[in-house]
Structures are given as structure tokens and as C-alpha cells.
Amino acid sequence: MTETSPLDKATTQRLVVLAADLAREAGDMVRRGRPRDVVVAATKSSPIDVVTAMDLASEALIRARIAAVRPDDGILGEEQGLLPGSSGITWVIDPIDGTVNYLYGIPAYAVSVAAVTGPPRPDAWTVVAGCVHSVADGRVWTAGLGKGARCDGSPVQVNDPVPLAQSLLGTGFGYTADRRRGQARVVAALLPQVRDIRRIGSAALDLCTLASGGLDLYYERGLQPWDLAAASLVAQEAGALVLGLRGVPADEAMTVAGPELTVRALVALLEDLDADRDEPADPTV
Ligand code: LIP
């Protein structure tokens, strides 16, 4: 049978439990596999290979477990792309979100596992279950569509809205120079208008931190489906509105999240700043 959303409660709950089991098991492997003496400096290939190898191994583990217990489901992962399924459910996985933190030993990286119905794209999917596991400190956020969001089993809720000037914002930056030039311009315009800005280095943890009240608002340009899937459901089920600019859903162009009142103010600001635009280098400079 092909699943269509919404799923019944028991199915949703089963998917949440499986997402959490998968994220925990992969997280254990990722934590154990991180060498203590990763040399970050100039020897580019080895540390980067270490991370790439662990990304691949984590994703392979999750894929193998899903294939064993839900062989008809599709899988979309950061490292190996889309394996289409026939059940109507696709698992969207980020084997390590926050790979630069993982490389440097900064304890903010996560395994993210979500189940979605519909085409596995942020503009078309319904995320029905998700888990983000903060590997270094062991925290586990879970959410099921319509069932609320939890961290380590306890319900979480976003902060009440406060004016932008009192809001702590989370954000992140892409990997290309053109994107970063645009993001730097936007962050420079926002910084004087808000309480402060945090760059944690894992989009999934940004959104889960928001869900737990550790940030008031979050925005980022450049998120991929696997960065967004599980954590967007956690944030949404914790009371956040998660959306893009100019009336479109959150996706790579822009993701903004927080309590409705302030999220709309931030969206308006970001639209005025053309924050959904990259900035090529000025050829005259
Ligand atoms: C990264 C994020 C980070 C974001 C980067 C990137 P990766 O994911 O989670 O916060 O700013 O653009 O997407 O590369 O570590 O899986």
C-alpha cells in the first residue's frame, strides 16, 4: 500500500521510534570513529578523508537498517543521493550535520533522520517523523507530525515572541564565496538590530536549539533537504513557523523559523535585504 499523509498515529509513532533508533546507532558509530588526533592544518586530504569516510559509513549503516526493516521505502541521503521506493515514504538522512565541527572536535554535530511522504523535496514533502541526535552530548530530539516535539523524552516549546531587538538569532553560512558574500552583507545589516547572533555550525542543531528555547529565531540560506527534514518538524512541532521568503516554503533559497509574530518580522527584513540572493564578486575590484 502506498502511504499518503497524514499517517495514522500508530504508524507515525513507529516511524519516530525507528528514526530515533537509527540516529542513535549511527551516532554511536560516528562518536567512536572520530580519531582524537585529527590534524586540521595543511594536510588537507587526510582529515577531510576521515570525515568523508565517516559520513559514508554512517549513511551506509542507516541505509542498510532501513532496507532490512522497511524495504519498500525510499531513501534520500547526503552522500548517496536518492534510492526511490514504492511505499510512499522516503527517509531523508544527514549522516553527519556539522562536519566541520566534527573535524575540529567542536561538540556540535548531529545525525538527522526523517521520514517524509510525497516527493522528497522541501516544497512538496510532508515530514511525518524525525529525529536529530546531537552526538557529542547525547541529546535526542524527536517529533511526529501532530504529536509534538521532545528532547530526551520531555516536551519542548519555542520561546514566546520577543521584539527583534531582544531576539537571539541563529544562522549559518554556505561553502561558496558568492553565497558567503551575500550572507555577510545580510548578517552585517541584521546584527545591529538584534540581541546577538550565533553560528553553531549544524543547521539541524540550530533548529532543535530553537525548538528548546535556546534561540529565539533562526534563518539560513542554502539548506539541503537532509539538513532540514527532521529538524524542521522538531521546530514546527515545538510551535515554530518554518517558512521561506516571498510566500514559498522553507527550502534551499531560505529557511526562517521561530514564533509566528517575530518570524514574520524577520521574513520582511530578509526580503528587504534580498537575502535570498548570492553576490558574485565585483569584477571591477
Ligand atoms: C552544514 C550545516 C551548517 C550550514 C552549512 C552546511 P554539513 O551541513 O549544517 O550549519 O551552515 O551550510 O549545510 O555540511 O555539515 O552537513
Average pLDDT over residues 255-275: 97
pTM exceeds 0.75? yes
Write the residue with the smallest CA distance to atom 11 of ligand 1.
172
**Which residue of 93, 132, 202, 205 sits with most ligand 1 atoms within 8 Å of its CB, as the best mutation to test the pocket?**
202
- 125-157 pLDDT per residue, tens: 999 999 999 999 999 999 999 999 999 999 999
Q: Which is the closest atom of ligand 1 to the Cα of 201?
A: 10
Write the residue with the smallest CA distance to atom 15 of ligand 1.
98
pLDDT of residue 150: 98
- What Å distances lie between residue 167 and 188, 190, 221, 244, CA to CA? 16, 11, 19, 19
Ranges for all domains in the chain classified under CATH 3.30.540.10: 9-155
| Exposure b/e, 181-212, CB count within 10 A at least 16 = b | ebbeebbeebeeebeebeebbbbbbbbbbbbb
**Which residue of 227, 228, 278 sits with most ligand 1 atoms within 8 Å of its CB, as the best mutation to test the pocket?**
227
pLDDT of residue 285: 65
pLDDT of residue 143: 98
- 38-71 pLDDT per residue, tens: 544 334 444 555 567 889 999 999 999 999 999 9
Residue 271 has pLDDT above 50, yes or no: yes
Residue 214: CB within 6 Å of ligand 1? no
CA 280 – CA 108 distance, rounded (Å): 30
Average pLDDT, the chain: 93
Ranges for all domains in the chain classified under CATH 3.40.190.80: 164-272
- 202-225 pLDDT per residue, tens: 999 999 999 999 999 999 999 999
Residue 222: CB within 6 Å of ligand 1? yes
- pLDDT over 90 percentage in the chain: 84
Is the pLDDT higher at 33 or at 75? Answer: 75
Q: Which is the closest atom of ligand 1 to the Cα of 220?
A: 11
Q: Which is the closest atom of ligand 1 to the Cα of 55?
A: 16
Ramachandran category for residue 218: left, alpha or beta (phi over 0 → left; psi -120 to 50 → alpha):
beta
Residue 79: CB within 6 Å of ligand 1? no
Write the residue with the smallest CA distance to atom 6 of ligand 1.
174
Residue 59: CB within 6 Å of ligand 1? no
With contact defined as beta carbons under 8 Å apart, do 226 and 77 qualify?
A: yes
Q: Which is the closest atom of ligand 1 to the Cα of 206?
A: 10
pLDDT of residue 50: 55
- 186-199 pLDDT per residue, tens: 999 999 999 999 99
**CATH number of the 164-272 domain:** 3.40.190.80
Average pLDDT over residues 95-108: 92
Grade residue 284 by pLDDT with cuts at 50, 70 and 90: confident
What superfamily in CATH does domain 9-155 come from?
Fructose-1,6-Bisphosphatase, subunit A, domain 1 (3.30.540.10)
